[in-house]
Structure 1
Amino acid sequence: MTLGCKVNQFETETMEGLFKKAGYEIGRFDEPADVYVINTCSVTSLGDRKSRQIIRRAHRENPEAVIAVCGCYAQVAPQDIEAIEGVSVVLGTKERSRIVEYVEQAMREQRQIVGVSDVMQAHTFEDIPLYDSPKRTRAFLKIEDGCENFCSYCIIPYARGPVKSRQPIHIREEAEKLVRAGFREIVLTGIHLGAYGRDLAPIACADGTERKVNLADACREVLSVPGLRRLRLGSLESLELSPELFELIRSDERFCAHLHLPLQAGSDPVLHDMNRHYTTAEFARLIENVEREVPGIAVSTDIIVGFPGETEELFADGLRFVEKMNFSRMHVFPYSRRTGTPAAKRKDQVPEPVKKERVHRMQALADRKAEEFHRMFLGKKMRVLFETEKDGVTDGLTDNYIRVYTESPVVCGEIYEVAIEKLYKDGVWGTVVEKM
């Protein structure tokens, strides 16, 4: 069972592969099992609560089962996990390569095994190869772990430790496996993706100088794999976009014209209190540069509302700033108080009803801006990677992250050219023209 982000999803898939390699059969989480693995999230207090609920549910399903709990919540609060009835193995965000070993030790010795260590002392990427193909149409490929930004609301730096990057050669090897398995799109993910390469040894240049490895190098490794149809990036910080990256997006049609760049707040005092390292004016200039470098690119974002100290005036400033931006999609979240972070200690917490009302207002703006973006593509033809089918309607994503629905006969996991006809649900409706 996976809670939380795409990085967690990828890590669960690597652990599934380890169990399969050891001879285990992977079943559904809601079915009786001998071993349950729960990969937890701790971004919000809700994530913590859901993790505890799922652990207890697994224990009720089979009180004799080995329950292994890992991930961010287990890393930052291992004592909480250890105290839950039925938990046999507690790992954090390290040592997942040994999860089968820990599970089997717990079985043999009939005791709880705790393998949580100081993640702040971890400086090497835990490189676990994929031993099995994920059951999806898009493949997530984790190339970085850790974060050193220490935003005042975020527990993740304490759960993941410093930046750790995957070696470029191993990125290519994993990408080759995924393409051989039939995936048309690879999504590069990381906790702080834009920091990729900071911790790696520099590259020697032809002129005798050296340069740091960066995200563009990782992208080139994946793009060099024959048969790849699409490459997409996970969430990035706007400050970390490089001319090399822009050149790759412009020059290679396989590179999806979509960037997810979290804004988090639309007022300078709130950004300062969040310990975000830019102002709204700087963010706007960065987005203008993105749009100038890659015309037509889609930019999505994250917004947190109700941060401690956010007055009605500051929230209104945020609404006005977002109104001016050309966001294709916005993920709006209420601020969640996270024990252990500086923001959680503040006395000027925004009341829950106020946060809820502000989420509603910001989400209404987000919906309107998404509709405006989608309208730009009515009457056009777009390439869509179809993903899921329900009741005769199949949906998938364009390279610029518009969800497209159709009743045309298609095969999930394949790319088709689609004529876009009308707005529909959270995206658009279209008719297939041809398979690409």
Structure 2
Amino acid sequence: MRKVAFYTLGCRVNTYETEAMAEKFIKNGYEVVDFDDFADVYVINTCTVTNVGDRKSRQMLRRAKKKNKDAVVVAVGCYAQVAPDEVEKIEDVDIIIGTKDKGKIVEFVEEFLKNKKKIKHVENVMSIREFEELEIDEYQDKTRAFLKIQDGCDKFCSYCLIPYARGPVRSRDPENILTEVKKLAENGYKEVILSGIHVASYGKDLKGIDLIDIIDMVSKIDGIERIRIGSVDPTFFTERSIERLKSITKFCHHFHLSLQSGCDETLKRMNRHYTTSDYRQIVNNLRDAFDDVSITTDIIVGFPGETEEEFEKTYQFLKEIRLAKMHIFKYSPRKGTKAASFKEQVPEFIKEERSKRLIELDKILETEFIEKHVGKVMDVLFEEYSDGYYWGYTKNYIRVGVASEKDLSGQILDVKIIDNRENKAIGVLKEVK
């Protein structure tokens, strides 16, 4: 039996697509093994959001051949899409597939094994209008499942390559989504995470349906007890959309609203279509609507032209709105984006200083958020065991550990939060639901 190994970089959509590709191989008689093991085929699902993503993609592509010099090495995904010529120069790579036709990956591998000729399959994604179905029957994770419902982005933020890597907005047919969710529920999954490249755009290319409609439809499927959504454009959350979400009891009150900067001048250069005042209002509206809401975000430091004064505005804004968690990224110039040609690029040492300041602030805010929940009883969906505890997440995405002699994996249980240890919530079981 041939063996195949995968390495996934980047977002939840990539995670979903890797699962789907793995299933294609399994159905064709392959065994999936760990990436560090000996395999006949190594698939690296690449990322190009940052220079770090590019570099890590190249590293993993080179590492694969060291495990087995005769292995077939496949570069697939966003980095392969936007820089196919760069990837082609890596001698160890045998097959290059962009962001289209991942579902044909086994066919490409079989073709290579037959002809021993390098394959480069990278199409112009800007002309794609159809959502590529990559259905998954059997997930590796048995508690919650990522579900890709949307692809593409048409926002063209000045720092971002993703619209060029993924193409225009395409939404998955709602019937196909519901069919897959029903299958997941039948197989014991309790939580689904609806993901996309710009998931708020779901339905934009369909008639009479949007993201909240599909959340509502999924919520009516028996067996599914929790629904989450991936990162969402803040402007999606109007008063009307928030009001509609309030009526969906299975919806988890965790919102990842990418801010990117807390300074209006910087946001304008980024081509983000909101102001800090807009963002603050959206955060306040969500907090008014959901008592236990958790709001997390992404921040870019050192964007071209970001002065000390602009950074200070971001710092103070974040200090004031006090979000539950922040993911801090240092700006990375991406060739082909507008921001790469902007003057006043910020030196690396300044990016590093600003990043450290925000990481310190994030630790304070995360501690504050978790400690607000000490003493409360909350639902936890348990996923894994490590370091003497079963770990899982509350509906508002606090990671909680419980010491138990019984296997809690896959169960949703009432847990009383009793402590916060270095931003890890610790709880005790109350009763089985």
Q: Shorter-chain TM-score category?
A: over 0.9
Matches within 5 A, 1:194-205: 194-200=200-206, 202-203=207-208
Counterpart in 2 of 1:139?
A: 145
Distance of 2:28 and 2:225 partners within structure 1: 32
Distance across 2 between alignment mates of 1:78 and 1:113: 11
Among 37, 44, 54, the residue aligned to 1:48: 54
How many residue pairs match? The answer is 426
**In 2: Cα distance, 1:54 partner to 1:434 partner:** 45
Name the counterpart of 1:188.
194
**Residue 299 of structure 2, aligned match among 293, 303, 310:** 303
Q: How big is the shift at 1:353?
A: 1.1
Output the CA distance in 1 between the equivalents of 2:89 and 2:401. 46
Q: Select the residue among 365, 374, 378 that pairs with 1:378.
A: 374
Please name the residue that 1:81 is paired with: 87
CA distance in structure 2 between the partners assigned to 1:248 and 1:198 by the alignment: 18
1:25 aligns to 2:22 (yes or no): no
Q: Secondary structure at the match of 2:94?
A: strand
1:140 Cα offset (Å): 0.3
Q: Which residue of the partner structure matches residue 16 of structure 2?
A: 10
Which residue type is aligned with residue 196 of structure 1?
Y
SS where residue 87 of structure 1 aligns? coil
Partner deviation per Cα, 1:169-188 (whole Å, 9 max, x = no partner): 01101111211222111000
**What is aligned with 1:400?**
396
Separation in 2 of the partners of 1:90 and 1:424?
A: 45
TM-score scaled by length of structure 2: 0.96
Q: Which amino acid aligns with 2:86?
A: D
Show CA shifts across 1:259-280 (max 9, x none): 1111110001100111101111
> CA deviation digits over 1:117-171, x for unaligned, max 9?
0000111110111132233522100000000111111110110000000010011
Q: Report the counterpart of residue 420 of structure 2 in structure 1.
A: 423
Contiguous gaps of at least 5 residues in structure 2: 1-6
Question: Does the residue aligned with 1:26 lie in a helix, a strand or coil?
Answer: strand
Once the two structures are TM-superposed, the CA of residue 8 in structure 1 deviates from its matched residue by 0.3
Call closer, same or farther: CA 1:248–1:186 in 2, change over 3 Å.
farther
The answer to whether residue 282 in structure 2 is matched with residue 286 in structure 1 is yes
Write out aligned runs for 1:324-343 (5 A): 324-343=320-339
CA distance, structure 2, for counterparts of residue 248 and residue 280 of structure 1: 24
Moved more, 247-256 or 165-174: 247-256
User: In structure 2, what is the equivalent of residue 114 of structure 1?
Assistant: 120
> In 2 relative to 1, CA 425–138 (structure 1 residues): closer, same or farther, beyond 3 Å?
farther
State the Cα distance separating 1:247 from its structure 2 match. 3.8
Distance in 1, matches of 2:86 and 2:272, equals: 30
AA of the residue aligned to 1:156: I
Gaps of 5+ in 1: 204-212
User: Which residue of structure 1 lines up, in the alignment, with residue 3 of structure 2?
Assistant: none
Pairwise CA distance, 1:5: 0.7
Q: Does 1:148 align with 2:154?
A: yes
Query: Deviation per CA, 1:234-272, whole angstroms, max 9, x where unpaired?
Result: 110111125564345322332101111111100011001
1:162 and 2:168 correspond:
yes
Whether contact under 8 Å (1:215, 1:245) holds in the other structure is no
Aligned amino acid, residue 412 of structure 2: I
Counterpart of 2:268 in structure 1 is 272
Query: What is the match of residue 435 of structure 1?
Result: 432
Query: Residue 18 of structure 1 contacts residue 131 of structure 1 at CA under 8 Å; is this kept in 2?
Result: no
Shift, 1:334, TM fit: 1.2
Report Cα offsets for 1:317-343 as digits up to 9, x if no partner: 111111111411111111112122111
2:232 to 231, 236, 255: 236
- Corresponding residue for residue 178 of structure 1: 184
In the TM superposition, structure 1's runs of 4+ consecutive aligned residues that sit over 3 Å from their partners are 242-245
Secondary structure of the corresponding residue to residue 31 of structure 2: coil
Separation of aligned partners in 1, 2:143 and 2:349: 39
TM-superposition CA deviations, 1:92-114 (whole Å, max 9, x none): 10011111111100110111111
1:129 maps onto 2:135 in alignment: yes
Q: Report the AA paired with residue 408 of structure 2.
A: V
Note the alpha carbon deviations across 1:63-88, whole angstroms, 9 max, x for none: 21111111000000011111211212
Identity %: 46
**Partner amino acid for 2:146?**
F
Q: Distance in 2 between matches of 1:248 and 1:35?
A: 47
1:412 to 409, 420, 423: 409
Question: Which letter maps to 1:65?
Answer: A
* Alignment TM-score, normalising by the size of structure 1: 0.95
**1:209 equivalent in structure 2:** none
Q: Secondary structure of 2:33's partner?
A: coil
Quick one: distance in 1 between partners of 2:31 and 2:39? Answer: 10
Task: Work out the CA distance in 1 between the residues paired with 2:388 and 2:150.
Answer: 38
Contact 1:168 1:217 in 2 (8 A): no
Letter in 1 for 2:254: H
Q: Deviations over 1:173-215 (max 9, x none)?
A: 1111211222111000000000000011x23xxxxxxxxx200
Instruction: Report the equivalent of 1:104.
Output: 110
- Partners in 2 of 1:288 and 1:174 — Cα distance? 35
Identify the match of residue 359 of structure 1 among 355, 361, 377.
355
Which one-letter code corresponds to 2:189 in the other structure? F
SS in structure 2 of the partner of residue 324 of structure 1: helix
Instruction: Please name the residue that 1:208 is paired with.
Output: none
Instruction: Give CA-to-partner distance per residue, 1:291-312, whole Å, 9 cap, x none.
Output: 2233332111111111111111
- Give 1:408 shift: 2.5
Partner SS state of residue 344, structure 1:
helix
Residues in 2 aligned to 1:31 and 1:128: alpha-carbon distance in whole angstroms: 26
Q: Could you tell me which residue of structure 2 aligns to residue 320 of structure 1?
A: 316
